[in-house]
Structures are given as C-alpha cells and as structure tokens.
Structure 1
Amino acid sequence: MTTQDVYAKLKSLGIELPAAGAPAAAYVMSAQTGNTVLLSGHIAKRDGKVWAGKLGGGISTEEGREAARAVAIDLIATLHAHTGDLNRVTRIVKVMSLVNSTLEFTEQHLVTNGASELFVEVFGDAGKHARSAFGVAQIPLGACVEIELIAEVR
C-alpha cells in the first residue's frame, strides 16, 4: 500500500501528468479484471512527438533511461485516467519493456531502470515490481522504447 499521497509525491518530483494518450489502433489503453489493471504498451515521446531511434545506434543508454522515464510518466497518466485516483494503486505488479536496439546493444535492463526507478519514487514500496526488458529489432513508429504495465488497485 502507498503510505503517502501519490499526487503530493508527483508534485515534489516536479512531475505534472500529461493527458492520457489515445489508442493508435484497434485496442484500448487500459483494461481491468478484478483488482488487476493492464495498461497497453506506451511508446516514448519527447516534446509531444515520437522519440524515435535505436539504442546502440545513435541513442545512448542514458538517453534511453530518460525515454523510459518519460514512458513511465505517460503510464502513470493512463493509470490515473483509468482509476480516477492514483492512491487506489496498491502495487505496480509487472513492467515489460521493449528497447529498440542494435544487435550489439546489451544494456536494455539499464534503459528500463529509468521507468522502474520512477515507479518506486512515486509509489514507494508498492512501486517495486517484477520486470522483463527485451531488445527488439523495431517498435511502432520507430520509437526507442515501449513499456507496458500491470497494476493492482483497491
């Protein structure tokens, strides 16, 4: 369970949630079964545009971490839109990260830390989650990172 107000924590981190995104194809941004909320993959954006590129091919690990953090903020915005109150989130259960990578790039886990660390900053112990981080040949629209999330709510 979160021990402090999530919105106060976001404010203290200087994070203003954007409007939740809309689906770009035949799917919904979130679905719920019981107390489990599943969020569709969100792609990295910078200044409102797709953050395109390939890790190991022009985008550094540190830039990838920043992209993953930006995706996490968008995921939190979608979670807010779905729940109506982020204080209802009892656990970030699972994060799956796809990192658009060259064959030689092997730091997908470090890129994904940009999102994982933010979830812990925002939700405290409830932000600690299981995780997978994959290197992939391409992501829709050429985005450098895509992340999906599973959360538990009350």
Structure 2
Amino acid sequence: MAGKIETRLAELKIELPAAAAPVANFVPCVQSGNLLFVSGQVTFWNGELRYVGKVGKEVSVEEAQQGARLCALNILAQVRAFLGDLDRVVRICQVQGFVNGVPEFKDHPKVVNGASDLFVEVFGDAGKHARFAVGSGSLPLGVSVEVAATLEVT
C-alpha cells in the first residue's frame, strides 16, 4: 500500500526520477540521529542532463526555476532510495540553492523558489524550511542550478 507522501505525489501527478549514483567520492545521503543530509543534486532527469547554462544568458529565470524543481525531485528520489519510505520525513529543515548566473544576475531567490515550492506542495507545512540562495561562478557540468537539503526524519 502506498504511503501518504507517495499518494500525495500521485495526486499531484509528480513522478520522481531514478536516484542517481554519485559521480565522485561522496554519498548521496548521510544520516546523523534524526537529521538526513542530502548532497547537492543537479538537473538530471533519469540520466539526461537538463537546464545547462548560465541563468540570464542561455537559461531564463523560469527555466532555472524548473531546474530547481528538478533538483528537488532528485532530492526526494535520493531520500526515498535511502530511507525506503518518504513518510519517514518529518520536515524539510533547510534548503541550500546555488545558481549559476551571469555576474549581474540578482534573482537567485526566484530560481530556488522552484525547489521550495515543490517541497511545500508535497509536504505542506512540513515542507516549509530555512533556506539560502546564492550565486555561483560555475556549477558541475555547467548546470544552471544545484540544490541540497537537510531533513528531519524518523
């Protein structure tokens, strides 16, 4: 039987991608006590890289928001693979957003809203979180956005 969060994802017609294997010497998730730290996720959809380029040049703010949403979907995929059940998520505690923008780009929070909005859509009040959204001179593979998160879990 599907859990509450899996049912919510189905109601929202949200499909999670496959959890990607790490490409370097790190693990996707580390649990310490009731905190789960999820490594930065980039804009992969089942092995296909999307939203590549600098925001404000090759990628629009709206496209980068979709990229941040995709990063959040990848976070949930990693959490499900690690915990086995998304119902073990008590709350999203913190979201860390990195935006690969042109030097004069100033709308980093608008981009990372793509991830924040998804977490609230899926988890309701438990999806509301502390956050930062910062600019970066570059990101791995040239992606426009990368998102990491810290969650409280059971």
TM-score when normalising by structure 1: 0.94
SS at match of 2:131: strand
Inter-partner Cα distance in structure 1 for 2:110 and 2:8: 24
SS at match of 1:31: strand
1:26 and 2:19 matched: no
Inter-partner Cα distance in structure 1 for 2:59 and 2:103: 14
Q: What's 2:109 paired with? A: 109
The code of the aligned residue for 1:149 comes to A
Equivalent pair of 2:68/2:112 in contact (CA under 8 Å) = yes
Q: Percent identity?
A: 46
- Aligned-residue offset at 1:49: 2.2
- Aligned-residue offset at 1:46: 4.9
- Aligned-residue offset at 1:19: 1.6
- Aligned-residue offset at 1:83: 1.0
Superposed CA deviations along residues 3-31 of structure 1, whole A, max 9, x for unmatched, are: x8111110011112222111010000000
1:36 and 2:35 matched: yes
SS at match of 2:123: helix
CA RMSD of superposed structures (Å): 1.2
Equivalent pair of 2:17/2:46 in contact (CA under 8 Å) = no
SS at match of 1:149: strand
Inter-partner Cα distance in structure 1 for 2:136 and 2:15: 30
Gaps of 5+ in 2: none
Inter-partner Cα distance in structure 1 for 2:9 and 2:132: 25
The code of the aligned residue for 2:23 comes to A
Gaps of 5+ in 1: none
Inter-partner Cα distance in structure 2 for 1:86 and 1:46: 19
SS at match of 1:105: coil
- Aligned-residue offset at 1:57: 1.1
Superposed CA deviations along residues 30-64 of structure 1, whole A, max 9, x for unmatched, are: 00000000000011125732221100112111001
Q: What's 2:144 paired with? A: 144
Inter-partner Cα distance in structure 2 for 1:86 and 1:15: 14
The code of the aligned residue for 1:49 comes to E
Matches within 5 A, 1:1-154: 5-46=4-45, 48-51=47-50, 52-154=52-154
Aligned residues: 151
Inter-partner Cα distance in structure 1 for 2:76 and 2:31: 15
The code of the aligned residue for 1:87 comes to D
